[in-house]
Amino acid sequence: MAARPDTLHDLVEKAGHILVFTGAGVSAESGIATFRDALTGLWANNDPQQLATPEGFIADPARVWGWYQWRRQQLLSREPNAAHRAIAALAQRVPKVTVVTQNVDDLHERAGSDAVIHLHGSLLTTRCFDCEKPAQVPVDEVPLDGAAITPPSCGHCGGMLRPGVVWFGEALPEDAWQRAVAAAQSADLVLVVGTSGLVYPAAQIPQLAWEGGATVVHVNTEPVPVAAEREHSLVGPAGEVLAELLG
């Protein structure tokens, strides 16, 4: 359903609780490679799915740990963009804003958003592969062409530490999922930014909000099919569209 930007602007101004649901398209505007982008150097010759499964980690833990250290280095060299900043600024205008993201970076937090719900975990956290206890590990200097690095050991059980992200075949963190569902059930406006809504179960969150009576606005570089009332699609870079919609 098409809608004039000024009409959607009015919805923002009248909202009591806005849920912002973000995907890889938001971070891509900060130069963060998406999962399916071609990677450089050593990793260009590897299937990313082999680097994002428990089985892949067990098969070659040094290669997987090195790849994630490279990703952490990439993240720390990037900055929040206009979309992140526009989302953070919403908290000054709306009684309640909840940010739920599929991204594993910390760009929302660095832009000023509080209590971000990470459905797929975080690159900047680690936990034990065996006992699952969290651990703090500094990000080592890693060449951008990649390097195999033996994972550190868990201080509790001696097992290997792994990245604190959700891999293929793993369940979403239960606490994050329940918080996201609760936000979806109470929001009256949902901004779905930088995601086509194809990754499940995370993509259920906007649908749950719509079923509860919320208006859903998709912001993406490609049109998102909408076939229902209270659902709209705005096309363009997230930073530009959100600056106009939320400005």
Half-sphere exposure for 184 (CA within 13 Å, toward CB): 23
Would you say 222 is a known binding-site residue? yes
111 is in an annotated binding site: no
Whether residue 37 is annotated as binding a ligand: the answer is: no
Q: 238 a known binding residue?
A: yes
In whole angstroms, how far apart are CA 73 and each of 68, 140, 142, 144? 9, 8, 7, 8
105 is in an annotated binding site: yes
CA gap 71, 123 in Å, rounded: 8
Is 120 catalytic? The answer is yes
Was 194 annotated as part of a binding site?
A: yes
CA distance 238 to 10: 19
Q: Is 220 annotated as a binding residue?
A: yes
Kindly state the tokens that stand for 225: 């099919």
**Can you tell me the distance from the alpha carbon of 71 to that of 105, in angstroms, rounded to the nearest whole number?**
10
Catalytic residue among 120, 156, 218, 232: 120
CA distances from 92 to 51, 89, 173 (A): 40, 6, 29
User: Is 125 among the annotated ligand-binding positions?
Assistant: no
Catalytic residue IDs: 120
Residues tagged in the binding site annotation for Zn(2+): 128, 131, 154, 157
Residues tagged in the binding site annotation for substrate: 68, 71
Residues tagged in the binding site annotation: 68, 71, 102-105, 128, 131, 154, 157, 194-196, 220-222, 238
Residues tagged in the binding site annotation for NAD(+): 102-105, 194-196, 220-222, 238
